[in-house]
Amino acid sequence: MLDFGSLLLATALSGACLSGTLVAIWLTARQSRFVLTMAVGILLLVTHVIAFWLYGQYASPWLGQGMLALLVAGFFVVFTSADQYIERGWSKPAALPVAGIIALTVAVTAAGFDGIGFVIAYSAVTGILVMTATAFWTCKDVDRRVLAPVSLLTGSSAVSFALCAFVIVQHKQWVLGGVPKNWAEDVNTVVVVACMTALGALTISFHHLRTQSRLTEETLTDPLTGLMNRRALNSLHGDTRFGRSMALAMVDLDHFKRTNDIFGHAVGDRVLQRFADIVRRQSRDGVEVFRLGGEEFAIVIAGKSALEVYDILRKIGASFGAEVVGTKLGPLRSTVSVGVCFGDDEARSLEQQLLGADAALYAAKRAGRNRVATAETADSGTYREPELLFA
C-alpha cells in the first residue's frame, strides 16, 4: 500500500505552491482573470486535502461536510477558470446545479450517510472534469498540442473519481465514519497530484500564450481604427506574389488636412473611425484592410475578378461619401480617392503593387478626387478612366 498521508501532504504542498505562484503572476497581469480563478480553485482543493486528512483522523460530521463541499467547489472553480480562458460561457449556467449538488452532499453527510455523500461528491467532480476536458478539447482557438495534455489529465482525473464512487457503491459503504480506504482512493490521489501540478503549470503556459498573442495583436493593429497596420501588411504580404487573381488598392481620405484644421483632430479621428467601420462592413472573404498611417489605407483583395474589385471599391467610396459626421460647425461629409493596381502574370511583389496603386491614387486626385483610378495602361482589359465614387 502507498503511504497515504505522504501523498496527501505532497498534494497539499504542491497545490499551495502553485496557488501562490499563480497569484503572483496575476498581480503582474490583472487582465488575466482566469489565472486568479485557477489559483482560488487550487487553494480550495488544497484546503479540501487538509480537511480530508483530518477527517481520517477525527471523523467529525462538520469536517466531513466541509471537506466534500470544498472538493466539489474547488473543481468547479477550476472549471470556471478554464471557461474564462476559452470563453465558452459554460460555467455560469452550471453554477446553480453545482450549488444544489453541494447542498445535497452536505445534507446527506449531516444525516450520517457520509458514504453516500462521498458518492455524490465524486460523481459531481467526475461530471465537472468531463466538462472541463470537453471544453478544452472542443476549443478551436488554441493549438491541439497544448490542449491534448489538458484534456488527457482532466479526463484521467474524471475516471479516477468515477472509480472511487464505483468502489463505494460496489461495497455498499453508505456509512463510512472516516475517509474511504481502497485501491481506487490510492490511484485517485496519485492522479490528482499529477493533475493539480500540471493544471497549474499549464495555466502559466496559457497565460504566456495569451500575453504573447495580445502583444502580437497590438503590434499589428492600429489603435485608433482597430484595423491592421503597415507592419501587418508587410508581415502578411511581404512575400506575396500578386498574380491576376489579386489586387491592391490605396485609399486616401480627401482634404483630410483641411478637416483637421477646420474641425479639429478629434473630429478627424472620428472620420477615420467611421471609414474603418465602413470598410469592415463592406469587407468579405478575400478582402483585408490596413491603415498605413494618417489618412492613408491599403486594401488587399484576393480571388475576385476586376469587376468585383471595382464593385467593392465603389461600395466603400459611396458608403463613406454618404456618411455624415456631426460637428459643432455643422454636418461633415468626406470622400475618398482610390488607386488600384491589379496583379499580372509576372506575379508582382508587394512593393511593386504599392508603387502602382500609389501612382493610380495620384491619378484619381488629379482627376478631381472622389474617384477610383487604375494603374494599368489604356490597352489593358482592367483599365478604366478615373470613375466617380460618390455623386
Q: What is the pLDDT of residues 19-60, one digit of tens each?
A: 887 788 788 777 778 888 888 998 998 899 888 888 888 888
If one compares 345 and 4, the residue with the highest pLDDT of the two is 345
Distance CA 7, CA 201 (A): 19
323 is catalytic: no
Residue type, 389: L
Q: How far is CA 81 from CA 75, 142, 376, in A?
A: 10, 15, 55
Q: What is the DSSP letter of 58?
A: S
Residue pLDDT, tens place only, 378-387: 444 455 666 6
Burial of 198 (0-12, 13-18, 19+ CB in 10 A): middle
Segment 328-346 mean pLDDT: 86
Q: What is the C-alpha separation between 156 and 354, in angstroms, rounded?
A: 55
Alpha-carbon gap, residue 114 to 68, rounded angstroms: 9
Q: Percentage of the chain with pLDDT > 90? A: 26
And the C-alpha cell for 8? 496527501
- From 87, 185, 217, 295, active-site residue: 295
Q: How far is it, in rounded angstroms, from Cα 197 to Cα 194?
A: 5
The beta-strand segments (E) located in 155-295 are: 228-229, 246-253, 287-293
* Identity of the highest mean pLDDT range in 109-123, 124-138, 268-282: 109-123
CB 48 within 8 Å of CB 29 = no
Residues 6+ apart with CB under 8 A from 182: 164, 167, 171
First to last CA, the chain: 87
Helices (H), ranges, 58-113: 61-86, 91-110
Q: What are phi and psi of 166, to 5 degrees?
A: -60, -45
State the chain's mean pLDDT as an integer. 84
225: nearest Cα among 296, 285, 287: 296
